[in-house]
Amino acid sequence: MNPIASASPRLEVQGLSTSFATEAGRIQSVADVSFAIRPGETLALVGESGSGKSVTSLTLMGLHAKTSHAQVEGQAWFVRRDGRRVNLLDLPESEKRALRGNELGMIFQEPMTSLNPVLTIGEQIAESVRLHLKLDRKAAHAHAQRMLELVEIPAAAQRVNEYPHQLSGGMRQRVMIALAMACNPTLLIADEPTTALDVTIQAQILALMGRLQKETGMSMLFVTHNLGVVAQYADAVAVMYAGRIVESAPVHDLFARPAHPYTRGLLACLPGVARRRASPVLPGRRPQLVAIPGQVSSPFAPPPGCAFAPRCTHRREACDARMPMLDAGGDRRVRCIGFTEELAA
């Protein structure tokens, strides 16, 4: 039996919803999102721009700006190193801070906005490990250098004393990985970690992340809109549409037999990727999500029924009446009346 599939989840998200009060009204960015990630597993969260992927990861990290008037519901059960199961959405700020950068690592798209421009990269990594691992100054500096070696930064002994602007984009992203991994996190949330990089560097960074994951057994939530990356690196996929998960499944099953009309639409736009599931992300090929005809409904006035119905070629009356349930057939879950009827047949 697959050891990942049989382990109990390290993170279990149940009914996560996030809305924001804005001048134009309340916007429901994420609604009733549930998923689980086991030790050593990578779950890819995919969807078009604005589907709620980043809000999901920021909510889990507790990183909403105080000014954003976010309202969060649901639970996110995380198993800590000491075996305690804590709800990330209900932790005091001090405990959240102790987890972030420690058991919970994160990597974002643009390292220049996440790295401190006035500190050397060594100082930034050392600061984190001194705080969380309680190392003294000298040991922290040595740890920082080891982390740069681990992420294959050449001449780490010199680079450790350089500032972010002295590094290329790919090297900065490696530093972000070193920083995120410095305290040996058990869960890494990576939000579009390679989107800003050219495809060759992107493939190298993803290979590095895959290797580190294998070595450490950490779990990963990987936010992306690149289906080629999903096909190659994820174990499971959750497809988001208008703030909700519309389909989730093991990666192989999803690519082989997409069930939700939206997922089918996404893959139909990418026939090459859908068929060549194991194809590498080749230089010059960027298998991104491409537009499906029609527009996502306004988040201020979501339709009462299925949010995808206005763009769906299988739409019927019942689809507009109420939001379909996320129904399960095996380890695939699909939010579509058509799928529910198929299960019942």
Ligand X SMILES: Nc1ncnc2c1ncn2[C@@H]1O[C@H](COP(=O)(O)OP(=O)(O)OP(=O)(O)O)[C@@H](O)[C@H]1O
Q: How far is the CB of 33 from ligand X (least distance, A)?
A: 11
Given the complex with ligand X, which of 79 and 307 has the nearer CB atom?
307
Rounded-to-integer distance, Cα 258 and Cα 266, Å: 9
44 SS3 class = strand
Pairwise CA distance, residues 285 & 195, whole Å? 13
Least distance (Å) from ligand X to the CB of residue 246?
Answer: 13
Measured from the CB of residue 106, what is the shortest distance to ligand X in angstroms? 14
| Alpha-carbon gap, residue 333 to 249, rounded angstroms | 7
For residue 41, the minimal CB distance to ligand X (Å) is 21
Instruction: Look at residues 277, 197, 201 and name the one whose alpha carbon lies nearest to residue 233.
Output: 277
Question: Strand pairing partners for 87?
Answer: 77
Nearer CB in complex with ligand X: 47/74: 47
CB 108 within 8 A of CB 150: no
Complex with ligand X: residue 228 or 338, whichever CB lies closer: 228
Radius of gyration of the chain (CA): 21
Paired with 219 in beta bridges are: 187
Please state the closest distance from residue 23 (CB atom) to ligand X, in A: 10
Site mask for ligand X (CB under 6 A), range 12-41, x = bound: --------x-x----x-x------------
Out of 100, 141, 172, 225, point to the residue binding ligand X (CB under 6 A).
225
Please, what is the minimum distance in Å from the beta carbon of residue 94 to ligand X? 23
Count of positions on this chain that bind ligand X (CB under 6 A): 15
DSSP of 51-62: SSHHHHHHHHHT
CA 24 vs CA 56, 65, 106: distances in Å: 22, 18, 31
- Residues within window 38-57 making contact with ligand X, judged by CB under 6 A: 47, 49-55
Maximum C-alpha span of the chain = 68
- Residues of this chain, 287-316, that bind ligand X according to CB under 6 A: 299
CA distance 253 to 52: 23
Q: Which is nearer to ligand X, 58 or 337 (CB)?
A: 58
Q: Which of 4, 36, 63, 68 binds ligand X (CB under 6 A)?
A: 68
Residues 165-204 interacting with ligand X (rule: CB under 6 A): none
Least Cβ distance, residue 57 to ligand X (angstroms): 8
- Return residues touching ligand X (CB under 6 A): 20, 22, 27, 29, 47, 49-55, 68, 225, 299
